[in-house]
Amino acid sequence: MLYFAVKAALSGILIAIISEVAKRYPGFGGLIASLPLVSVLGMVWLWRDNPDASNMAAHAEATFWFVLPSLPMFLLIPAMLRNGYSFWVSLVVGCALTICLYSLTAWAGPRVGVRL
C-alpha cells in the first residue's frame, strides 16, 4: 500500500507542478505537460512491478498509437475557446472527440496490423 501511495503522490506532484508553472508561463507549462513524463513514470512503475521486456515493448508501442488520437483535442479546445465557447463545453467536446478517436483506434488498429 505504501508503494501505491508513493506512486500516486509523485504523479500528483507532477500534475501540480505543471499547473503552477502554467499559471505564470502557459507555453512552458504546455512544454512540460507535453513531455512524456507520465508515460515514463508509468513505464518505470510497470518495469519495477513486472520486468518483462516483451510486455514493456508492447506497452510502449500501444502508448505511441494511443497518443496520436489524443492530439486533435489540443487543437479543438483552443479553437472553440477562441470562438466564444466556454471552457467546460470546449473541454467536454474535446474529451468526447478523443474518446471517439480512441475507440476508432482500438477498433481499426488490430485490423491494420497494429498491436494494441
Q: Do 86 and 110 form a contact (C-beta atoms < 8 A)?
A: no
How far is residue 18's CA from residue 78's CA, in Å, rounded to a whole number? 18
pLDDT digits (tens, 9 = 90+) for 74-94: 999 999 999 999 999 999 999
Q: Nearest Cα to 75, choosing from 90, 62, 89, 64?
A: 90
pLDDT tens figures, 93-116: 999 999 999 999 999 999 999 988
Q: Rounded to whole angstroms, how far apart are CA atoms 39 and 31?
A: 15
Cell of 2: 505504501
What is the model's pTM? Answer: 0.75
Cβ of 36: how many Cβ atoms within 10 Å?
A: 13
